[in-house]
């Protein structure tokens, strides 16, 4: 099986590469990691040209426009990456009979509920980012018959910029931090997500045309998350809660976006780890 991973410079693709190298070194030759230097995913002709010259059995799309607030000012750019590029990649995958694995987000929900979201629950994104990610999901499922969507949340890794690394940096420089405590979700170690995706790719029985949720287990606010980071790193910095109204941002965030993972557990026997344990393991590995 030959697998193409699109978005090689992003934190999820890099985490995939690390997991493959560490835990499945013998499979490394099956994977090809590509970035914009190989072809521009927002250029349909460039995508088609690349796929015409290369054959893959599966495509994992790790690319996304993830600047949630900037997307409010740059909706065209967000749409180009989160919708158009997804369509081009999914169409190309369909043209060669490849499976298409597309990563999406909990931001497709409005967060107005108080119970965990299942895949079949109504979507109602509050931001340009959420809207474009939802549209990308729909298009992928429409144009590629062997698509599977994996929604995730609050992703962090050793690569790039993310909440964990930002909190560590700020906490080392300040006596106190204020972090919103009225947005609740679930942090996700990118390497755990990578393992879940790999389990889907190499499963004997596939479930095409389906949407799945995967994050670590449990739930917390951003403030709880920050407190745990500071505690585990033993940094002398107070983390104080504030409401979202005191930390204005351009894009609206869901108030509660915890996702139910039972479907991916049942269909693919994927393991879900408590977010605190995943964070502890991650910080120990830094």
Please answer whether residues 114 and 258 qualify as being in contact, where contact means their C-beta atoms are separated by less than 8 angstroms: no
In the set 101, 129, 156, 212, the catalytic residue is 129
Place of tokens 């949720």: 213
Closest CA to 149 of 92, 98, 95, 208: 208
| Residue pLDDT tens, the chain, 286 long | 899 999 999 999 999 999 999 987 778 889 999 998 999 999 999 999 999 999 999 999 999 999 999 999 999 999 999 999 999 999 999 999 999 999 999 999 999 988 999 999 999 999 999 999 999 999 999 999 999 999 999 999 999 899 999 999 999 999 999 999 999 999 999 999 999 999 999 999 999 999 999 999 999 999 999 999 999 999 999 999 999 999 889 999 999 999 999 999 999 999 999 999 999 999 998 8
Measured on CA atoms in the order 8, 9, 15, 19, is the torsion positive or negative? positive
Q: What is the pLDDT of residue 27?
A: 85
Give the H/E segment covering residue 122.
none
Q: What is the pLDDT of residue 23?
A: 86
Active site residue 88: no
Q: What's the pTM value of the predicted model, to 2 decimals?
A: 0.96
Domain at 3-161+189-218+256-273: CATH code:
3.40.50.720
Helices (H), the chain: 11-23, 44-53, 70-73, 75-79, 85-95, 128-143, 163-173, 190-201, 222-233, 262-268, 275-285
Domain boundaries, the chain: 3-161+189-218+256-273
- Which CA distances in Å does 189 have to 29, 37, 71, 270, 279? 25, 27, 24, 14, 7
Place of tokens 């697998």: 3
């Amino acid at each position: 099986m030959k697998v193409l991973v699109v978005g090689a410079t992003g934190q999820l693709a890099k985490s995939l590469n690390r997991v493959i190298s560490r835990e499945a070194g013998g499979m490394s030759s099956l994977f090809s990691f590509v970035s914009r230097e190989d072809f521009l995913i927002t250029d349909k002709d460039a995508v088609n040209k690349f796929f015409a010259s290369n054959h893959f059995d599966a495509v994992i799309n790790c690319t996304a426009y993830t600047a949630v607030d900037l997307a409010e000012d740059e909706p065209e750019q967000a749409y180009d990456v989160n919708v158009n590029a997804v369509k081009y990649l999914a169409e190309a995958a369909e043209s060669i009979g490849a499976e298409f694995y597309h990563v999406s987000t909990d931001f497709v929900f409005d967060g107005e509920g108080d119970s965990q979201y299942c895949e079949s629950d109504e979507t109602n994104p509050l931001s340009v980012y959420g809207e474009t990610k939802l549209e990308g999901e729909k298009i992928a499922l429409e144009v590629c018959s062997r698509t599977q969507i994996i929604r995730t949340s609050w992703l962090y890794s050793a690569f790039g910029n993310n909440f964990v690394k930002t909190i560590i940096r700020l906490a080392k420089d300040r006596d106190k931090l204020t972090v919103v405590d009225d947005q609740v979700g679930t942090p996700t170690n990118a390497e755990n997500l990578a393992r879940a995706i790999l389990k889907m790719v190499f499963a004997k029985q596939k479930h095409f045309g389906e949407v799945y949720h995967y994050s670590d287990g449990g739930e917390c606010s951003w403030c709880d998350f920050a407190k745990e980071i500071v505690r585990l790193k033993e940094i002398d910095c107070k983390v104080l809660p504030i409401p979202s109204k005191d930390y204005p941002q351009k894009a609206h965030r869901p108030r509660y976006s915890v996702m139910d993972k039972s479907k991916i557990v049942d269909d693919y026997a994927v393991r879900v780890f408590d977010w605190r344990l995943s964070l502890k393991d991650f910080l120990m590995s830094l």
